[in-house]
Amino acid sequence: MEAVYAESSAVLAWLLGETRGDEVARALAEADAVVVSDLTVVECERVLIRAWSLGLATEGAMADQRADLVRTATHWIRLRLDEEVVERARRPFPVEPVRTLDAVHLASALVARAAAPGLRLLTLDQRIRENAERLGFEVLP
């Protein structure tokens, strides 16, 4: 099974039609299973709300993007922020400093990889990419 952990920066690039969003969409479509943290869904929704509240997006655009996210995310495996994820996020990573939410993503990916060996990590965030590579992940795109 080809599984991928999708981090928020990648999901947002797809959702907002940003640079490399097409590459992210392909990686998501080609994966047999997409794993995300609850954090991914929360971060994506908060970005949509923030854009609307700052006048950068209309309420209609926000609603359409949110519908795309909800429709797609129903097919994803969502990881809870459980004790194992929190405990791993509290420890150092190969390339520090790591922001708190990035640590949660990295910890979630590590926990998911324990259940799905060969799990690849989909991210556009440079610090997460560097850490993921050092932790032995294949990083996409």
Does the pLDDT at position 34 exceed 80?
A: yes
Q: What is the pLDDT of residue 35?
A: 98
Average pLDDT, the chain: 96
Q: What is the pLDDT of residue 1?
A: 63
Q: What is the pLDDT of residue 128?
A: 98
Which of 118, 117, 119 has its CA nearest to residue 105? 119
AA identity, residue 24:
V
User: What are the strands of the beta sheet with 3-6, ordered from one edge?
Assistant: 77-79, 33-37, 3-6, 120-122, 139-140
Q: What is the pLDDT of residue 89?
A: 98
47-79 burial, b for 16+ CB within 10 Å, e for fewer? bbeebbeeeebeeeebeebbeebeebbeebeeb
The tens digit of pLDDT for each residue in 89-126 reads: 999 999 999 999 999 999 999 999 999 999 999 999 99
pTM of the predicted model, to two decimals? 0.94
Average pLDDT over residues 59-70: 94
Distance CA 60, CA 28 (A): 25
Distance CA 86, CA 90 (A): 6
Distance CA 5, CA 14 (A): 14
Q: Which residues neighbour 97 within 8 Å (Cβ) at sequence distance 6 or greater?
A: none
**Is CATH 3.40.190.10 the right assignment for the domain spanning 3-140?**
no
Asked if omega into 97 is within 30° of 0 (cis), the reply is yes
Q: How far is CA 1 from the centre of its chain?
A: 19
Q: What is the pLDDT of residue 126?
A: 97
